[in-house]
Amino acid sequence: MKVLAAGDHFVLNTLIAEALRRRLDDTPLQLSELSLPWPLEPFGKVAEVDEASDAEDTLIEALDGVEVCVTQMAPFTERVLAAAPALRMIAVCRGGPVNVNLSAAQARDVRVCFAPGRNAAATAEFTIGLMLAALRGIPDAHDSLARQGLWDASYYTYDRCGPELEDTPVGLIGYGAVGSRVARVLSAFGAEVEVYDPYVRGDVHGMRAASLDALLARSRVVTLHARLTPETRGLIGARELALMPKGSVLVNAARGGLVRTDALCDALDSGQLAAAALDTYEQEPPAPGSRLLKTPNLVLTPHLGGASRAVAHKAAAIAAAEVERYARGEPLAHCLT
């Protein structure tokens, strides 16, 4: 079986190769490699697919005679698929194969698999880190001491001390793989956890909110874990931020489009929000003149929530397990075509 590992600087080709050989130690593999430049070069829209490396020509060349491709960022457009008649399976090392034209793949009987849950733990942990950083002013205190050389005693005054998570009402919007993990960690901190997710049934860690407005009105901290859909785009705007208690904190390590940027900056400037922490943005990266870069009490990180070494290993392992099922003629676990 001829397999192409089209990795990048995060999900390395060495990790993909190791995972494949572990899973398919008794299957003869002809393994070739293509190294894509992400994240050192940004992904973007390539023809009709999203979040892909702009590498159609090099991918077409590398796919010559290839039956299976394992990748994260390769652009499987209509043009690429048409030029790869031997291709039968694409295993995408991410939670959604947005870099694959699914209808074109299905029309050519190419199976498209993905790696759900690979970064759930990493994103949940990062969310808690953002929350603590925003609540306790950790980045500002670090900058004051490490960069300015100041031992600023005012951080110990009542007005500048941040709240604890213990006994603090924390509202979660979304209760999927990431949100449910965050809820469990917050419960261990002793926070008063409340969850709003109309699509999830059954028990949750904490209370269920009857409505989004009710959750916002009660929560001193709100953390977002919803998917970005036409219904949730701009979910948190000026009206929603005004419902939160004055001096609250907002955390978003989910999708940038959930929050209206100008409304968030207005809430921080006015003091309606005491702080916020963002890992994702409506525009990535933010424009050089963005208000986000000038607004006080805002913790910003460059979409790092899912970036851990463990995630890269998990993604390669999930994809390799799908390739093994394919090679053995077994049903695929995470397949969209």
Answer whether 193's CB lies under 8 Å from 220's CB: no
Report the pLDDT value the prediction gives residue 312, as an integer from 0 to 100: 98
Report the pLDDT value the prediction gives residue 27, as an integer from 0 to 100: 87
Residue 4 three-state SS: strand
How far is CA 99 from each of CA 52, 62, 169, rounded to the nearest angstrom?
Answer: 5, 17, 39
Q: Among 21, 284, 309, 330, which one carries the catalytic annotation? A: 284
Question: 201 catalytic, yes or no?
Answer: no
Per-residue pLDDT of the chain (337 residues; tens, 9 = 90+): 999 999 999 999 999 999 999 999 888 999 999 999 999 998 999 999 999 999 999 999 999 999 999 999 999 999 999 999 999 999 999 999 999 999 999 999 999 999 999 999 999 999 999 999 999 999 999 999 999 999 999 999 998 898 999 999 999 999 999 999 999 999 999 999 999 999 998 899 999 999 999 999 999 999 999 999 999 999 999 999 999 999 999 999 999 999 999 999 999 999 999 999 999 999 999 999 999 999 999 999 999 999 999 999 999 999 999 999 999 999 999 999 8
Report the pLDDT value the prediction gives residue 21, as an integer from 0 to 100: 95
Superfamily of domain 120-300: NAD(P)-binding Rossmann-like Domain (3.40.50.720)
Q: Among 255, 260, 325, 334, which one carries the catalytic annotation? A: 255
Q: Where in the chain is the domain with CATH 3.40.50.720?
A: 2-118+308-327, 120-300
Report the pLDDT value the prediction gives residue 259, as an integer from 0 to 100: 98
Q: Which of 276, 326, 273, 277 is nearest to 304 (CA)?
A: 277
Q: What is the dihedral of CA 10, 305, 264, 50, to 10 degrees?
A: 40
Residue 103 CA to residue 80 CA, distance in Å, equals 13
Report the pLDDT value the prediction gives residue 106, as an integer from 0 to 100: 97
Residue 50 CA to residue 47 CA, distance in Å, equals 8
- Note the CATH architecture for domain 2-118+308-327: 3-Layer(aba) Sandwich (3.40)
Helices (H), 63-176: 78-82, 102-107, 120-136, 138-142
Residue 75 CA to residue 71 CA, distance in Å, equals 9
Q: What is the DSSP secondary-structure string of 252-309?
A: E-S-GGGB-HHHHHHHHHHTSEEEEEES--SSSSPPTT-GGGT-SSEEE-SS-TT--H
User: Per residue in 96-123, is it b (16+ CB within 10 Å) or e — as a string?
Assistant: ebebbbbebbeebebbbbbbeebbbbbb
Q: Among 9, 108, 303, 313, which one carries the catalytic annotation? A: 303
